[in-house]
């Protein structure tokens, strides 16, 4: 099938909302970290990618778009492998992003126990940051450097730097599709994430994702 949209933005930049938005616009299915949990057979493929032996067509064979981890770490490779795909870079205020990560995906007070291949996979994601994922100065600097690298590395006519607060208009203009009459999706806020975890559920609403 081949990717048509490559999401280079980090997790907790509205990526699940953007996944749902892209699928509503016809770029479906869209890969997101949740797909790794729903498709554990893909974990060895991601581990191989982290070891420098990617098989992108095997990973993304069923997908037309991707956002979030783990794909955002490979935006350069994916942009080269899918030269006709557009690059969508989701952003937000770096300090608010850091606060969100510490309350959710990188919460130091609520580590998620991992074993086997899934632990190897998660360790690769953490190692990609190259420093202390709980250090504000390091992480906000990483966030800014990541955005700078994407802006410098992708031609302007192929790239949209996008804050989900902007809504449909810039995204639809970038992708050349009509603006929906419905509101832009809002999913997986910090409170929603924390509530699901506290209730012993998956931090992401898998039922909603599965219906898209």
For 185-205, give the DSSP string. P----HHHHHHHHHTTS-SS-
Under DSSP, is residue 169 helix (H, G, I), strand (E, B) or coil? Answer: helix
pLDDT at 193 over 70: no
Domain range 5-211, CATH architecture: 3-Layer(aba) Sandwich (3.40)
Q: Kindly provide the b/e burial profile for residues 42-61, where b requires at least 16 CB atoms within 10 angstroms of the residue's own CB.
A: bbebbbebbeeebebeebbe
At 75-102, the pLDDT tens digits run 999 999 999 999 999 999 999 999 999 9
- Cβ contacts of residue 164 below 8 Å, gap of 6+? 13, 14, 17, 18, 21, 90, 92, 184
Per-residue confidence (pLDDT) for residue 76, from 0 to 100 = 98
Q: What is the mean pLDDT of the chain?
A: 88
pLDDT at 191 over 60: no
Per-residue confidence (pLDDT) for residue 75, from 0 to 100 = 98
Query: DSSP code of 87?
Result: E
Tell me the whole-structure pTM to 2 decimals. 0.88
At 15-55, the pLDDT tens digits run 999 999 999 999 999 999 989 988 889 999 999 999 999 99
pLDDT at 109 over 60: yes
Helix H or strand E encompassing 135: none
Residue range 146-173: mean pLDDT, rounded: 98
Per-residue confidence (pLDDT) for residue 157, from 0 to 100 = 97
Residue range 170-188: mean pLDDT, rounded: 92
The larger pLDDT score, comparing residue 1 to residue 70, is at 70
Q: How far apart are CA 39 and CA 59, in angstroms?
A: 10
């Amino acid at each position: 099938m081949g990717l048509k949209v490559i999401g280079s933005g980090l997790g907790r930049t509205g990526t699940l909302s953007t996944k749902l938005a892209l699928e509503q616009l016809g770029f479906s299915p869209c890969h997101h970290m949740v797909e790794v949990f729903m498709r554990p057979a893909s974990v060895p493929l991601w581990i191989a990618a982290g070891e420098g032996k990617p098989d992108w067509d095997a990973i993304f064979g069923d997908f037309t778009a991707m956002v979030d981890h783990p794909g955002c770490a490979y935006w350069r490779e994916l942009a080269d492998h899918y030269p006709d795909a557009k690059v969508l870079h989701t952003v937000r205020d770096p300090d608010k992003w850091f606060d969100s990560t510490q309350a959710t995906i990188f919460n130091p007070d609520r580590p998620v126990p991992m074993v086997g291949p899934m632990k190897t996979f998660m360790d690769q994601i953490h190692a990609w940051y190259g420093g202390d994922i709980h250090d504000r100065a390091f992480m906000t600097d990483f966030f800014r450097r990541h955005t700078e690298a994407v802006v410098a590395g992708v031609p302007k006519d192929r790239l949209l730097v996008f804050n989900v607060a902007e809504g449909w208009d810039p995204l639809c203009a970038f992708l050349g599709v009509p603006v929906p009459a419905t509101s832009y999706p809002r999913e997986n806020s910090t409170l929603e994430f924390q509530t699901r975890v506290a209730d012993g559920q998956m931090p992401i609403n898998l039922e909603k994702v599965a219906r898209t």
